[in-house]
């Protein structure tokens, strides 16, 4: 390694913001400022559980720790280190989750009435961003795996068709990877969009770690994307709600993006969350590959053990690459349970109730365990042992296969207009043909079956009723039981 390269690496061992906050805590200054709990003295029960340092780190903007919406010192340095880590031209800390990053990406590139091309299986935060920005969605339908019963991702060929039909669209949004871990050929998608003068925005909420090991699908910055939003708290090691916005090297003005970001940025950020981003970046930059090497070996063993049980199928990266133009993030431990004679919902409930194991999500045929930088073999051993026990006590009659449904409802009204339109409540069974005034979605993963301004069909109603019978978590409606749905008052 060159001297310059070694000096660059040494920089990544720095945590400028965390160091400044630690100094402030040790300084023990008289706190005649916000927050009012005063080092936890006004929140004793909470302090006794979480510890005094956490509450001393709970600071408002003060001398020496910089200001998040207009940084000039330690936050600036920390964000430059973050940008360098991801090979981005600029990076911004987010402490309102990746949602704020997604909204900023869309609002930075689309004005009211502009078209944006995106997959139909996007997260609810993107639908919310359409309401805020006034952008018009043009959907690309993703492929479906009939074997696993899950939505995969979009293909370059399908994207090109949509781009050619909508040449005035202002941007293309891609998901890298999906909640299930599936990715498109992102580099080809970026090239296709750029060829037509469209910037590429990437929802990389579940892919922070992919930049740090060449076994994973290509990351957004490596693929040449213009902007990406990454949830460091999901797979990068930081605390929940902490994320980052990355700006590529294509010439998009990072200062304008910062202006848009500041429209909704809090003026009272959590320095506890910000410091976790600083330390997580250091760990990824200096030890990321080593940690991920160990995790991938552990997951290879886990998949082999699960597939030995019988009745379960835990696919790896090769399965998705052989199935089409897709790849797979192997930190997502996807397990198809259909041949065990149970639904994914039933297996999830049994794991929680009988084995004290909490997994990320379930659907009709699968469960999904998300692994991470802090994974332990004993966690995965507990899962393998539980799945073995469930299989031993289950009648292995394969459950009836129900074809995966790809909903692409007719858009009658744009999301923003529908959001502000008068609405009325209608029983679910009577909603066929009505225009939805709210989202209906399974959470997780948070992908709407129908969104605002879209026509509710009989097929959607029957699918929702089936999901209710399976006791899965449905959200987005004013009625938490989804017996009634708000529709546009026409």
Q: What is the CATH classification number for the domain harbouring 295?
A: 3.90.1150.10
Compute the distance between CA of residue 360 and CA of residue 348 in angstroms, rounded to an integer: 9
Nearest C-alpha neighbor of 194 from the set 175, 216, 169, 176: 169
Please give the angle made by the CA atoms of 387, 390 and 396, to the nearest 5 degrees.
110
User: Residue 373 falls within a domain, yes or no?
Assistant: yes
State the residue for tokens 């133009």.
325
Return the structure tokens found at 101.
Answer: 């990053």
Last residue of a domain, one of 65, 86, 120: 65
Q: Which of 33-37, 104-108, 296-300, 320-324 has the lowest mean pLDDT?
A: 320-324
CATH of the domain at 438: 3.90.100.10
* Domain assignment present for 34: yes
Pick the more confident residue, 94 or 442. Answer: 94
pLDDT the model gives residue 177: 97
CA–CA separation, 54 and 174 (whole Å):
37
Q: How many domains does the chain have?
A: 4
The answer to whether 296 and 318 are in contact (CB under 8 A) is no
My answer on whether 99 and 47 are in the same domain is: no
- The residue among 459, 416, 452, 458 whose CA lies nearest residue 435 is 452
**Whether 98 contacts 242, CB under 8 Å:** no
The span from the first CA to the last CA of the chain, in angstroms, equals 68
For residues 69 and 107, what is the distance between their CA atoms, to the nearest angstrom? 17
Place of tokens 């916000």: 34
Q: Which of 387, 359, 373 is nearest to 445 (CA)?
A: 359
Residue listed under structure tokens 């990351």? 219
Query: Is 401 among the domain residues?
Result: no
374 and 259 co-located in one domain: no
Judgement on whether residues 59 and 85 belong to the same structural domain of the protein: no
H/E element, 150: strand 150-151
> Pairing relation of β-strands 136-140 and 115-119?
parallel
Alpha-carbon gap, residue 108 to 314, rounded angstroms: 39
Q: Which residues contact 86 (CB under 8 A, 6 or more apart)?
A: 211, 219, 221, 230, 244, 246
Q: Are residues 49 and 74 in the same domain?
A: no
Residue 115 within a domain: yes
The verdict on residue 398 lying in a domain is no
Q: For residue 408, tell me if it sits in a domain.
A: no
List the structure tokens of 440. Answer: 């209906």
Of 333, 358, 392, which residue sits at a domain end? 392
Residues 178-234 pLDDT 10s: 999 999 999 999 999 999 999 999 999 999 999 999 999 999 999 999 999 999 999
Q: What is the pLDDT of residues 383-418, one digit of tens each?
A: 999 999 999 998 777 665 655 566 788 999 999 999
Q: HSE on the CB side for 389, CA within 13 Å? A: 10
State the Cα–Cα distance between residues 419 and 486, nearest whole angstrom.
11
Check pLDDT > 60 for residue 26.
yes
Look at residue 9 and tell me whether its pLDDT is greater than 80. no
Residue among 114, 104, 156, 107 nearest 138 (CA): 114
Whether the bond between 445 and the residue before it is cis, its omega within 30 degrees of 0, is yes
Name the CA radius of gyration of the chain, rounded.
Answer: 23
Specify whether 101 is located in the same domain as 232: yes
CA distance 162 to 394: 46
Say if residue 251 is in the same domain as residue 379.
no
Residues 430 and 380 in one domain: no
Which H or E element spans position 256? helix 254-262
What are 485's two structure tokens? 């749905």
Report yes or no on 399 lying in a domain: no
For residue 4, pLDDT beyond 50 = no
pLDDT of residue 325: 83
Domain encompassing residue 371: 288-392
Same domain membership, residue 86 and residue 52: no
pLDDT in tens, 221-247: 999 999 999 999 999 999 999 999 999
* Whether 255 and 339 share a structural domain: no
Question: What torsion do the CA atoms of 471, 476, 480, 482 make, to the nearest 10 degrees?
Answer: -70
Helix axis angle, 271-309 to 16-27, nearest 10°: 120
- pLDDT reported for residue 1: 32
Whether residue 96 sits in one domain with residue 197: yes
Q: List the structure tokens of 30.
A: 């008289």
- Domain end (from 338, 358, 392): 392
Whether residues 358 and 435 fall in one domain: no
296-306 residue pLDDT tens:
999 999 999 99
What's the pLDDT score for residue 160? Answer: 96
Q: Outline where DSSP puts E strands in 231-373.
A: 243-247, 327-328, 332-336, 361-362, 366-370
Residue 405 located in a structural domain: no
Q: Could you tell me if 177 and 262 lie in one domain?
A: yes
Please check whether residue 205 is in contact with residue 123, taking contact to mean a CB–CB distance below 8 angstroms: yes
Helices marked H in 393-475 — which ranges? 415-419, 458-469
pLDDT over 50 at 347, yes or no: yes
Q: What is the pLDDT of residues 453-488, one digit of tens each?
A: 999 999 999 989 988 887 778 889 999 999 999 999
């Amino acid at each position: 390694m060159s001297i310059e390269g070694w000096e660059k690496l040494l920089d990544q061992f720095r945590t400028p913001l965390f160091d400044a906050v630690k100094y402030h805590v040790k300084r023990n200054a008289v706190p005649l400022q916000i927050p009012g709990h005063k080092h936890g003295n006004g929140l004793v029960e909470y302090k006794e559980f979480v510890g005094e340092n956490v509450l001393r780190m709970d600071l408002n903007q003060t001398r020496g720790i910089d200001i998040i919406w207009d940084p000039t010192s330690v936050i600036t340095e920390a964000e430059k280190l973050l940008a360098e880590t991801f090979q981005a031209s600029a990076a911004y800390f987010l402490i309102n989750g990746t949602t704020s990053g997604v909204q900023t990406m869309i609002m930075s590139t689309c004005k009211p009435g502009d078209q944006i091309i995106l997959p139909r299986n996007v997260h609810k935060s993107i639908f919310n961003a359409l309401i805020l920005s006034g952008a018009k969605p043009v959907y690309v339908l993703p492929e479906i795996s009939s074997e696993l019963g899950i939505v995969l991702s979009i293909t370059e060929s399908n994207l090109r068709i949509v781009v050619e039909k909508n040449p005035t669209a202002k941007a293309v949004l891609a998901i890298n990877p999906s909640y299930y871990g599936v990715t498109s050929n992102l580099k080809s998608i970026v090239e296709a969009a750029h060829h037509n003068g469209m910037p590429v925005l990437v929802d990389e909420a579940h892919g922070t770690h992919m930049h740090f090991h060449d076994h994973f699908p290509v990351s957004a910055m490596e693929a040449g994307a213009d902007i990406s939003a990454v949830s460091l708290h999901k797979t990068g090691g930081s605390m929940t709600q902490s994320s980052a916005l990355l700006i590529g090297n294509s010439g998009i003005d990072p200062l304008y993006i910062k202006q848009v970001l500041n429209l909704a940025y809090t003026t009272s950020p959590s320095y506890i969350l910000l410091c976790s981003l600083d330390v997580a970046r250091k760990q990824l930059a200096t030890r990321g590959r080593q940690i991920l090497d160990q995790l991938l070996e552990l997951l290879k063993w886990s998949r082999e053990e699960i597939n030995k049980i019988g009745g379960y199928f835990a696919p790896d990266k090769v399965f998705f690459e052989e199935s089409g133009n897709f790849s797979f993030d192997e930190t997502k431990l996807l397990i198809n349970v259909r041949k065990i004679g149970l639904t994914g919902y039933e297996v999830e409930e049994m794991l929680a109730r009988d084995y004290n194991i909490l997994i990320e999500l379930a659907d009709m045929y699968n469960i999904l365990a998300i692994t991470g930088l802090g994974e332990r073999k004993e966690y995965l051993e507990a899962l393998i042992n539980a799945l073995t026990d469930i299989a031993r006590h289950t009648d292995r009659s394969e459950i009836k296969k129900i074809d995966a449904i790809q909903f692409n409802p007719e858009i009658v009204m744009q999301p923003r207009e529908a959001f502000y339109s008068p609405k009325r409540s209608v029983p679910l069974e009577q909603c066929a043909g009505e225009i939805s005034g709210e989202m209906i979605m399974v959470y997780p993963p948070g992908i709407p079956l129908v969104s605002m301004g879209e026509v509710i069909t009989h097929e959607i109603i029957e699918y929702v009723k089936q999901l209710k019978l399976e006791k899965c978590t449905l959200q987005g409606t004013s009625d938490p039981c989804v017996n009634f749905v708000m529709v546009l008052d026409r």
